[in-house]
Amino acid sequence: MQTVKLSETRNIVIIIAIVFISAMLLYWPYLLRTSPFGLDLHTPDMNVIYSNYDGPLYIIPAKTLYNPAAIEKIGLETPLPTKYFAAHFPLYPALIRLFSFVGYLKSMILVSFLGSVLLGIGFYYVVKKLSLSQSPLLLTTVMLFLPRLLVVRAVGAPETFFMLFIILSLYFFEQKKYALAGILGALATMTKAPGVLLFIVYVLAIGEQYMKSRKVRWQWLYVLLIPVGLLSVFGLYSLQYHDFFAFWHTGGVVPLVYPFAAFNFQKQWIGTGWLEDVVFYFYLYILSAVTLRDSKYRSFFYFSVVFLVATSFVQHRDIARYALPLWPVACIAFEKFLVSRKYFWALVIALPAIYLYAWNFLSYNTMPISNWAPFL
């Protein structure tokens, strides 16, 4: 028993080390102000990391708590409507505010780092407890190095906490701990609006359980906490903006129009016809859903289907980011291949390309900020 505990502790330390070292390697050109491998990063410094979309925009509600007068007073160099920040759900800003004693910009990165560590540990825990892989540590490592996730966990972004809450909620649902599943689902919804899709997932899973057993569990009612989480966010907006539906009045909500809506170069958040990678992302997650069809963990299957369908309606170029919550479930679906020796060596060989992609993307995906005072 003592040996098992030491092994678990060692694996958790390894996960923390992987998250830390991989992030430091990503920050290396910006900390040392250098351009690696001939990649021209212009004026590389940590401001590139701080200014990556949409990180700084989460600092504004963290500082103002969505108070319109405070937002106007903060003095953004590019004025945005005060309701614009209702598109940035409150849990991530609340965490930034919690650690703001180190400074808001540093807090933003610190919170993302903590979210990355907890995501790694949480995913490892779920895989281990449900016996989803014989190599949970290796599968966790693979999960952490999806190129788009590597970027997201190094900048200001709520995705790591969002993914953490989702995977833990699914786990506790499968363990029939519906209260914890509902609470974590509510936290996911308070982090990003698509978290409410977990409610649909659980309704489908509960429906299947009922069809098989013809028995009703009153504990199923705990999944109602998920839409309650969404209503609490709208309640906050009603209090601050005097507009319960402020989220839909931001002017920054990505359209949800029709399946595979990303394939329209003329739309605002597309702007390019070079979308082959998006096809491959859809193919990956469709294959994941098909693979999980016969899984005994039914909520995993329903989540892969519901979130995939919803993502297909998103009219935005960055489908890789919007689909990130599907990635841990896809890792579970393909775990035998992903923990194989041949995949491991392929990942090692591809690491330089992954980091070159990340540095290139980080230096491209920046907000034009010359006055940093509102974010300090």
Each residue's pLDDT tens digit, 66-119: 999 999 999 898 889 999 999 999 999 999 999 999 999 999 999 999 999 999
- Is 183 or 42 the better-scoring residue by pLDDT? 183
- For residues 23-34, average pLDDT: 91
With 70 as the cut, is the pLDDT of residue 222 above it?
Answer: yes
pLDDT in tens, 313-370: 999 999 999 999 999 999 999 999 999 999 999 999 999 999 999 999 999 999 999 9
Helices (H), the chain: 2-32, 46-50, 55-64, 68-73, 91-98, 104-129, 136-144, 147-152, 159-174, 178-191, 197-213, 225-241, 276-291, 298-312, 319-322, 326-333, 335-338, 341-364
CA atoms of 42 and 174, how far apart (whole Å): 49
Measured CA to CA in angstroms, residue 149 lies from 250, 255, 279 at distances of 26, 23, 18
Cβ 92 vs Cβ 58: under 8 Å: yes
Cα 321 from Cα 317, distance rounded (Å):
9
| pLDDT surpassing 70 at residue 301 | yes
With 60 as the cut, is the pLDDT of residue 2 above it? no
Whether pLDDT at 42 is above 80: no
Furthest-apart CA atoms within the chain: distance in Å: 65
Integer angstrom CA distances of residue 296 from 292, 333, 375: 9, 12, 47
pLDDT of 3? 61
Which own/partner contact pairs does 103-109 have at CB distance under 8 Å and 24+ positions apart? 103/376, 104/59, 104/62, 104/63, 104/375, 104/376, 105/50, 105/56, 105/59, 105/372, 105/375, 105/376, 107/62, 108/50, 108/55, 108/56, 108/58, 108/59, 108/156, 109/49, 109/50, 109/154, 109/155, 109/156
Query: What mean pLDDT is predicted for residues 36-41?
Result: 77
Instruction: Provide the percentage of residues in the chain whose pLDDT is more than 90.
Output: 89
**Three-state DSSP state, 314:** strand
Lowest-pLDDT range of 8-12, 20-24, 156-160, 236-240: 8-12
Per-residue model confidence (pLDDT) at position 297: 97
What pLDDT is attached to residue 317? 95
Report the range of poorest mean pLDDT among 32-41, 66-75, 143-152: 32-41
DSSP, res 376: -
Distance CA 67, CA 61 (A): 8
Specify the pTM: 0.96
Res. 44: pLDDT tops 80: no
**CB burial class (10 A; 0-12, 13-18, 19+) of residue 311?**
buried
What is the distance, to the nearest Å, from the Cα of residue 268 to the centroid of all Cα atoms in its chain? Answer: 23
Give how far Cα 279 sits from Cα of 148, 183, 319, 322, Å: 15, 34, 10, 14
Q: How confident is the model at residue 310 (pLDDT cuts 50, 70, 90)?
A: very high
pLDDT above 70: percentage of residues in the chain: 98
pLDDT value at position 238? Answer: 97
Query: Residue 1: pLDDT above 60?
Result: no
State residue 216's pLDDT score: 92
pLDDT at 130: 97
Residue pointed to by tokens 């297909």: 312
Q: Is the pLDDT at 6 greater than 80, yes or no?
A: no
